[in-house]
Amino acid sequence: MTKTVSLEQYGLKHLFRNHRLEFHGNLQHLAEPRLFRRFLRQLYRHDWVVHVKPPFGGPEYVLLYLARYKHRVATSNHRLVSFADGKVTFRRKDYAHGHKKRKMTLTADEFLRRFLLYAMPRGFVRIRHYGFLSTRRRQALMPLCRQLLAQSSQPRAPTQVEKGTPVTDT
């Protein structure tokens, strides 16, 4: 007997069955199959709405944004100006105002919060190692990306998977 599940449920169940999901901290209890199934049932009782805006400035802007972070860490040591009274001052480029160099001062907590947004979780690899930005393929693929961007007059809407698309769970 087969039952109908959504593509998302199938994907999560498949990953769970193949021991490809890890549960840490307060989610460790979900490693138990019965509790994981209960969690999925509760999760998929809701109709989720994902709000995705088109990229601000178009695909070229996104490409330039990614290129800035391709090989760099969030803040290198030479950009740090001072640390005093629980505040960090560092140099930055103000891209909104003609790439002018400016200084910014943040509390140590806020500086660390922003810095850690760029720390890669265990098992993740920086974007420079994959796809059109990988060292081995960049020289051939970057011109192709630029050519495709030039051909595209408008960004296309993302494709959607119809809600409730039946998938058999074996």
In angstroms, the CA 144 to CA 133 distance is 12
Whether the predicted pLDDT of 35 surpasses 70: yes
Is the backbone of residue 58 left (phi > 0), alpha (psi -120 to 50) or beta? left
In percent, the amount of the chain with pLDDT more than 90 equals 22
As a whole number, the mean pLDDT across the chain is 77
Q: What is the pTM of this model?
A: 0.37
**Reported confidence tier of residue 73, pLDDT bands at 50, 70, 90:** low
Torsion sign across C-alpha atoms 16, 20, 26, 31: positive
Which pLDDT score is estimated for 114?
A: 84
Which pLDDT score is estimated for 157?
A: 56
Which pLDDT score is estimated for 128?
A: 58
What mean pLDDT is predicted for residues 74-98?
88
Between 3-7, 71-75, 114-118, 129-133, the lowest mean confidence (pLDDT) is in: 3-7
